Amino acid sequence: MIFHETTLRDAMLIEPEPRGDDRGFFARMMCREEFAAHGLISDFVQHNMSFSRCKGTVRGLHFQRGAYAEAKLMRCTRGEIVDVIVDLRGTSPTYLKHEAFHLTAENHRLLYVPPGFAHGFQTLTDDVEVFYPVSAAYAPSMEGGLRHDDPLVGISWPLDVSGVSPKDASWPFLQRGAPPIF
């Protein structure tokens, strides 16, 4: 696997190194030792999958707090997405900065999202599947989120937003000068 640092501290874009022949290819998607060598969490206790019917759908931006703060390893297994992460760690030099990543079923890239980040994605095609293990079990009381259109974050989504859940549309906007979430 090839680990690429991002502009956000501790987040990584990971490219598998396929080994192939006329049958196809084989590639590792996670290796505990390689993750540890890069300082990444590799103990994933829950594996999630989402399916979105329509292009333009936005899911997120989600995070969990406290002991339930989670690392995620995002992979698009069908279709295409733009995956966006926002650093919410108040002591980080990249606090409140965001970065977007193009993940597709064809490019096989993985995005490592560290604890303390909000995460969301927009579908760029219809019928998108995303698979992602997380390092902490879901705890509804510890869940939080940012609105996809929060002006303090300023995400420019590549497509018009065609669908957002009522819960995701109801997250409050961040307030300048408010204490950090993490």
What positions carry a catalytic annotation? 62, 132
Residue type present at position 99: E
Residue 10 CA to residue 150 CA, distance in Å, equals 23
The secondary element (H helix, E strand) that includes residue 37 is helix 32-37
Residue 135 CA to residue 154 CA, distance in Å, equals 28
| Contact present, 113 and 84 (Cβ < 8 Å) | no
Tracing tokens 């995303």 back to the chain, one arrives at: 130
Q: Which DSSP letter does residue 114 get?
A: -
**Residues 6 or more apart in contact with residue 47 via CB below 8 angstroms:** 131, 132, 133, 134
In Å, what is the CA distance from 49 to each residue of 3, 129, 132, 144, 179? Answer: 23, 7, 6, 19, 32
